[in-house]
Structure 1
Amino acid sequence: MGEDEEEEAEEEAGEAHRRSLQEQSFRESSADPNPTCEEAIESISSVASLSRSIKVFAVKWQLIRSKLVEISSALAVSDESAELSGTVREAMATVRECRGLAEKCVARSYGGKLLMQSNLDMVLTKLHCHVKDLSGLRKAGSFPQGYAIVVSKPRFGACKEDMRFYVEDLLTRMKIEEDPEIRRQALASLHDAASEDEKFVKVVMGVGEIIHLLVSFLDSLEMEVQEEAARVLSVVAGFDSCNGAVIMAGIVAPLVRVLECGGEVGKELSARCLMKLTTNSENAWRVSAHGGVTALLRICSSNTDFAKAELICSACGVLRNLARVLEIKRFMLEEGVISVLLRLARSRDEAVQISSIEFLQDFVSGDDFLRRMVIGEGGFHALLRLLNPPSSSSSSSKALEVAFRAIEDLCFSSETGLKIMLNHGFAEVVVRYLRDREASVQELAFKVAFKLTKTSSDDAKRALGDAGFMLEIVRFLDAKSHGVREMAAESLSSMVSIPRNRKRFAQDEQSVEFLMHLIETDADHSGRRKFLLSALTSLTSCSSGRKKIANSGYLKAIERLAEDEVSDAKRLVRKLSTNKFRSVLGGLWHS
């Protein structure tokens, strides 16, 4: 038996057990001459579930189920009263009659089709009369306003029939125009169900009418109804399989209207929904066509107080998706998106800072023209401000990481960007983070400095040297991470290629000795050793460095490596020998 067949068999067995319990419950409640609303609802649910297994007279039973749901929904929002009890007794008599017909249809034990059709028509007429009676009681004020007992949500893992009955019950409540509170509660219950169990989302999609109704609620004048509908649709839009249906229901235009005219909560929920939908470029075009770009930019241009932080972050997320379409990106540029994002980067709210900077980095990625534009509008200064006190003292590691990466993307690819960075003390900022912050931020600053040393700019290497980078980087030569150790050695090798840097480094006897010690103890023949030997070779070009290397107790280890045909070691030994010979010749020449 296949996996699908096993699941189907399990579901059928569970369904049989459930029906048995429901039948028992039905018999108990039917014996009561004065059933409560709760008992009536349970009996109606039992009959509705049973009817779903009927294979004959499908249209008739679908109409009957619809009426049963209407009755159940009306009873669920009612309070026990003398006026209601008579109607409930009459309705229960019809429900029992309905159950008898359902059992005959399941067993196909009815006398003839025409007779059964006639019986079903009579039951349907009775149910319709009960719905009218309950509606009349409601209009007469017998039901308390704003009072709603929600039908119990099926337990997790319940069968589809129970879930569908629950959703159809909620759908009926949503159609009650006289009481917005009942509608709101039904929407809230639907959101809770869909959020907790994705199977409910599939059931919702199966009740085609409900999506169109939810979309229509986005234009509701009742703010809470609008917000609850947006909340449900945001959950549904999170499933790729549902995107097509909500788009076909015309969701984009109402969502944009909420962005323009809705309350703050509704706007945030609409933006969150659009963010999920616009991962598809076709939907991005729809949002743009309905004026969504302008509405989103207007939100981002508003005052960024704390209450609006989530809304602005969601708006940035939608714009970020939309910008992946080149024509929309150009329109954003014309509308001044860069200046908007740079202003948001200066926000006091960290979440807004992160969202805007990540969007900005994504926006300019791979485009030198846009990078220059951002730098020209003060982009580097806005980012550097986040790394300097007092902003940096309250910033999280995430915010610092985003700022570092954005600066790297903006400035490292051009000479102009590098000059601006160095002229405004970026090297000192990096070294300060190497000294003062927690390990995660230290490593981040180190990686930025490493990439800076790999540029062709000697000015960058000199600036890092002046800021004390070389002495700080020595600590990373013995880091736990193999990758970090190798990066540190490569950075040092690049740094001491500059004369001013190697003279400064050679003055620290302990650091030179430590490099040679690492070479002796490096048993895994790693890339680190290659870069350390290269750095020592550069240090032989200055007299103080050459003397410290030649007088070190670890020189014999390097000589052994040269004897073992390690090319970098041979080059270092040869350089030391040549310099020694030159010193001897110089002494003879001057004697």
Structure 2
Amino acid sequence: MPDQMHPTTATSDPPQEQPPETLLNLITNVLSLLLLSTITVQSFIGRWQVLRPKLTSLQSSLSSLSDSPLWPQNPLLQTLLPSLLSTLQRLLSLSHQCSSTSSFLGGKLLFQSDLDIASSSLSNHLHDLGLLLRSGVLHQSNAIILSHPGPGSNKEELVFFIHDLFTRLQVGGAEFKRPALESLLQVLNEDQKLASLVAKEGNIGYLIGLLDFNNQPSIREQAVSAVSILASSDGESRKIIFEEGGLGHLLRVLETGSMPVREKAAIAIEAITDDPDNGWAISAYHGVSVLIEACQCGSQVTQTHAVGAIRNVAGLEDIRMALAEEGVVPVIFHLLVSGTSAAQEKAADCVAILASSGEYFRTLIIQEKGLQRLMYLIQDLSSTSCTIEHILRAISSLSVSDSVSQILSSSTALIVHLGELIKHGNIISQQISASLLANLSISDGNKRAIASCMGSLVKLMESPKPVGLQEAGALALLSLLTVRWNKKELARDEKGLMKLVKMLDPRCELIDKKFPVMVVDALLSGRSGGCRKRLLAAGVFQHLQKLAEMEVAGAKKALQRLSENRLKSMFSRTWRE
């Protein structure tokens, strides 16, 4: 093709310094010549036939671009148009070679490679231009980044802002990506309620792609921060991040990233695995060893969230076995002893989950001297109430072993502390402590030592929730009442006794009557004349009568004991008279 087909420019300035209107005219001229050239090529005809629809599509996109009145003011085009012009000029030069019969310099393979590279570049430009047109950002004059939507912004304004922001992420170079990410982070930090809208309207897949290590470290760090905030904000955002493959990218960042990005990645991983439907993917992405290593070598922040992620997936059988094979138990106990307060709480929860998962894991915990550590930690005044609750659950699960039960039963310090937790712990700690006391074989001396918690056990019996609390309180109280001295102590507690009698009232429907009946029966058993007198004086007789008529379990037996004593008292009084 003759040389006159090469376009001439109106100025000698480099393409980057040309006005947008001039660049568009140059691109249109080159494109027209290139479309004609594709008809006359004599070599690589198949490849040019594939290229022609792309060129036609580009012509249509450029027409749409020129119809947008404010397009010259968009800064993204200052990068896109010069690059597009360069690609088209390269393709035009290649088409000239294919239109002549001369041999190809460097050979056909090299020429074919050059043609494929230019074609790929054209596809990228088409994608970016199409993205700009679809986003609607060319219909508004804007600076590098749109001004942030104010508190009163409507959804349409917010959606436009998000579209503009993600357009700059995908089309612009680093000079556009950094401020776009900064703007995204600012918006998310100011109002995390926007996270679901960002996740829905933005290209989260592209944002996750920025976590790749081929990107500049500063851009990758900003992207990790944005993903971390989105994952921590709400379930919908977490779901979208997971579906876009974000967990795998985050695990790679956690494994090989710098300390700041590892911390952000750990936060996001814990948030994503908090959804039970996502946890299985930890194994699919080979993340078990990554999380354990993060617990060992990461910063305190990384450790805290990595152990949180392990806690989240420890309930899944396959992953639980992989955790055990990777040596998770000693790592978890190390954090339980020496980690931050938050790490200790999550580690304790993890131990509790493992301890409840079967004999295999209970054996692993005991082999690591886990029982002794748990018994020590439960008395640590610096432990939070939630940490104590998890430790109690772990101890309770371990206690199913006869050897563990014997150790626990013989520990006066533990028994006394359980009594204190019943008096002063939260409701869950009270329930677990009461259940432990009921199931352990405690000496009479230790039972007497914790008699002061009996009033609290009576109070637990008044609460219908959580499920099992009334039973735990009653059974623990029954265990303590096998000691005669404790019976007298409870009978002398007027407040506790009145609560017990009130629970027997048939009109009190929230109480399962069999539990207060069991306690009254225990008070009446053996030589307990003083207890009988106090119960009668408190009005227990009439309630037991009604409960016996209602055939409540144990009511007739308790009433019979109470009545026998009443008759004995009457005969004794008559004889004395």
TM-score tier, shorter chain, comes to 0.5 to 0.7
Specify the alignment match of 2:164 in structure 1: 168
Alignment partner of 1:495 is 2:479:
yes
Alignment partner of 1:405 is 2:393:
yes
Q: CA deviation at 1:189?
A: 0.7
Structure-2 separation of matches of 1:188 and 1:364: 45
In structure 2, the CA distance between the partners of 1:290 and 1:494, relative to structure 1 (3 Å rule), is same
Query: In structure 2, which of residues 346, 359, 363 is the aligned counterpart of residue 372 of structure 1?
Result: 363
In structure 2, the CA distance between the partners of 1:75 and 1:452, relative to structure 1 (3 Å rule), is same
Structure-2 separation of matches of 1:376 and 1:404: 19
Q: CA deviation at 1:239?
A: 6.2
- What letter corresponds to residue 345 of structure 2 in structure 1? I
Query: Per the alignment, in what secondary structure is the counterpart of residue 464 of structure 2?
Result: helix
Structure-2 separation of matches of 1:581 and 1:192: 82
In structure 2, the CA distance between the partners of 1:557 and 1:213, relative to structure 1 (3 Å rule), is closer
Unpaired stretches in structure 2, ≥5 consecutive residues: 1-19, 21-58, 80-128, 130-142, 572-577
Specify the alignment match of 2:178 in structure 1: 184
Identity rate, percent: 20
TM-superposition CA deviations, 1:440-482 (whole Å, max 9, x none):
x264443223212443x4x1475751432x3322245357954
In structure 2, the CA distance between the partners of 1:413 and 1:371, relative to structure 1 (3 Å rule), is same
Q: CA deviation at 1:233?
A: 2.2
Q: CA deviation at 1:165?
A: 5.7
Query: In structure 2, which of residues 424, 429, 432 is the aligned counterpart of residue 448 of structure 1?
Result: 432
- 1:564-583 equivalences under 5 Å are 566=548, 568=554, 570-575=556-561
- What letter corresponds to residue 337 of structure 2 in structure 1? R
TM-superposition CA deviations, 1:497-544 (whole Å, max 9, x none):
63xx1344336761489637852795445447654443343344433x
**Residues 218 and 229 of structure 1 are in contact (CA less than 8 Å); yes or no, is this contact kept in structure 2?**
no
- 1:109-188 equivalences under 5 Å are 150-155=145-150, 156-158=152-154, 160=156, 163-164=159-160, 167-168=163-164, 171-172=167-168, 177=173, 179=175, 183-188=177-182
**Residues 471 and 511 of structure 1 are in contact (CA less than 8 Å); yes or no, is this contact kept in structure 2?**
no
- Give the RMSD, CA atoms, in angstroms: 4.6
TM-superposition CA deviations, 1:563-585 (whole Å, max 9, x none):
65736565345335667999999
Structure-2 separation of matches of 1:553 and 1:579: 12
- 1:240-319 equivalences under 5 Å are 246=241, 251-278=246-273, 284=279, 286-302=281-297, 308-319=299-310
- What letter corresponds to residue 218 of structure 2 in structure 1? E
**Residues 208 and 246 of structure 2 are in contact (CA less than 8 Å); yes or no, is this contact kept in structure 1?**
no
**Residues 320 and 363 of structure 1 are in contact (CA less than 8 Å); yes or no, is this contact kept in structure 2?**
no
In structure 2, the CA distance between the partners of 1:492 and 1:301, relative to structure 1 (3 Å rule), is closer
Structure-1 separation of matches of 2:514 and 2:281: 57
Specify the alignment match of 2:74 in structure 1: 72
Query: In structure 1, which of residues 474, 492, 516 is the aligned counterpart of residue 455 of structure 2?
Result: 474
Structure-1 separation of matches of 2:537 and 2:291: 66
State the aligned residue count.
441
In structure 2, the CA distance between the partners of 1:522 and 1:177, relative to structure 1 (3 Å rule), is same
- What letter corresponds to residue 185 of structure 1 in structure 2? P
Structure-2 separation of matches of 1:65 and 1:423: 87
TM-score (norm. length: structure 2): 0.62
Structure-2 separation of matches of 1:563 and 1:325: 52
In structure 2, the CA distance between the partners of 1:200 and 1:404, relative to structure 1 (3 Å rule), is closer
TM-superposition CA deviations, 1:99-125 (whole Å, max 9, x none):
xxxxxxxxxxxxxxxxxxxxxxxxxxx
Q: CA deviation at 1:299?
A: 0.9
Unpaired stretches in structure 1, ≥5 consecutive residues: 1-39, 41-56, 78-127, 129-147, 586-591
Q: CA deviation at 1:254?
A: 3.4
Q: CA deviation at 1:236?
A: 4.5
Specify the alignment match of 2:488 in structure 1: 506
Structure-2 separation of matches of 1:480 and 1:230: 50
